[in-house]
Structure 1
């Protein structure tokens, strides 16, 4: 049994098709203005969820980049400080050899002792090196200077008093943490008996008192220099690891950004072509609709 197609059905179908065409044109125009395939989650829930995942990944990557930049700056500052400590100890060794020269009179040895004492004070300042207000040789106690007086003792002299050996680590990947610090105890008190400062204090005392004990300190200075070389080597290895992590993070950012773009960004040229095609469809629909709508009685009476 055939269905009778009335004028109202024809009119309704025409209006439905025109409305659908208008919605398609509106979608293409919105995509052109935003540059995005979807402008609300309901447009394509699956694409929206994937886009949220990629954006969340990019936020994590951005944090890893900041951590790696901060970490490398910390390690670079530490390496520069260790280089300065090495230079000072090498100078102290030269002065010690000079002071042990049998032709030196007491005044010459006293002058050597005074210079070494000044170098010791300079090492104290180096051990208090900071970055962004944090003491780099203080372990995790970064707000307290490691080289300081004892507040509980009146007129106490400055010494390296920090005993914090904790590691400072920064996360530079989902499963990648890198130690950025060198605990000051490893550098300035590695022997647990006063370390570098005790060696220098004893050398100064021996030269001031004109005793022969200074000869024993050349080997102690060499031990300290060897220890510095070891600490710098370990730090250098971690710096290399950090730089490799930074390179990997940059690559991950590029690939994730590309995935997000593929997921969300429109092909402008294609959208323009689709919009023009839809405009042609709409014009054809309007033309056909004008013929479908029957003339009214008023039109006949004109």
Structure 2
């Protein structure tokens, strides 16, 4: 049995094929323009699921990077403050050593040393109240200054400012001001006040040198702890940068297209579509009279 192929059937088939070619051409044009392998989840569900998971990992990694940057700012500020504090304490020791030489010191000279020590105390207080984005790095979770003007510690004992820096854990980014500068009668501020009082009363300040060395050792010990945390967070920062590069490469492999490949396929599809138009035009060109003939 011979099936009859009508002109209408040929036209319908040709139009269907042209529409298919045009859809593919449109898809390739969208890929070339957007540089994306798919524009809707339904285009490639498996790839879309992978891409969504990778985006989630990227967002989490970016948050860790922000936490690391913030944590480094806190630790760097604390390290710089302690460095400045130990330098000031070194000057306090030098002045105290000079003031201990009773034979060469008269009341005027001792007063000059006392005045400079008071100035150093003010600088030390400013250093102890170092802040990052308005928060003291030595006051724990307290929003107030770490130390009052009289040297009283206002931090919250045991309270820690913590930043999560990876899936594996977190790190403390503040520093215990009480451990660095001391509290009450053991604070660096009370110590300087005692030295100033001794100078003005004529008491030999030589015995205060031991207190200065003890406080300086405490500062250096605290700085060592801060340095260890800095090294730890910097190592995690390097790993986070590497993870960011790896995740972006994996995301690009799933979502992005090869520009050269897409352009080649686009040109080929354009040729196919133009050829189909030409062939369809020739096939459907005969008139009804020519067909009946």
Asked if Structure 1 and Structure 2 have the same fold, meaning a TM-score greater than 0.5 normalized by the shorter chain, the answer is yes
* CA gap 1:260/1:3 in 2 versus in 1, 3 angstroms: farther
Which SS does the other structure have where 2:164 is aligned? strand
Q: CA RMSD in A?
A: 2.3
* CA gap 1:272/1:80 in 2 versus in 1, 3 angstroms: same
Contact 1:124/1:160, CA 8 A, preserved across alignment: no
Aligned with residue 171 of structure 1, among 125, 139, 164: 164
Distance 1:161 1:297 in 2: 103
Task: State the TM-score, normalizing by the size of structure 2.
Answer: 0.90
- The equivalent residue for 2:191 is 199
Which SS does the other structure have where 1:159 is aligned? coil
- The equivalent residue for 2:56 is 56
Aligned residues: 290
Contact 2:32/2:259, CA 8 A, preserved across alignment: yes
Which SS does the other structure have where 1:215 is aligned? coil
Distance 1:219 1:282 in 2: 92
Output one character per residue of 1:102-130: Cα deviation in whole Å (capped at 9) or x when no partner.
31233333332232222122211211222
Which SS does the other structure have where 2:171 is aligned? strand
Which SS does the other structure have where 2:102 is aligned? coil
What are the residue-to-residue correspondences of 1:125-140 with 2, within 5 Å?
Answer: 125-140=126-141
Distance 2:123 2:270 in 1: 79
Deviation at 1:67, TM superposition (A): 2.0
What are the residue-to-residue correspondences of 1:136-155 with 2, within 5 Å?
Answer: 136-141=137-142, 143-148=143-148
What are the residue-to-residue correspondences of 1:1-302 with 2, within 5 Å?
Answer: 4-7=3-6, 8-103=8-103, 104-141=105-142, 143-148=143-148, 158-165=150-157, 166-189=159-182, 193-212=185-204, 214-293=205-284, 295-299=286-290
Which SS does the other structure have where 1:162 is aligned? coil
* CA gap 1:299/1:93 in 2 versus in 1, 3 angstroms: same
> Can you give the 5+ residue segments of structure 2 that lack an aligned partner in the other structure?
none
Output one character per residue of 1:25-46: Cα deviation in whole Å (capped at 9) or x when no partner.
1100111111111111111122
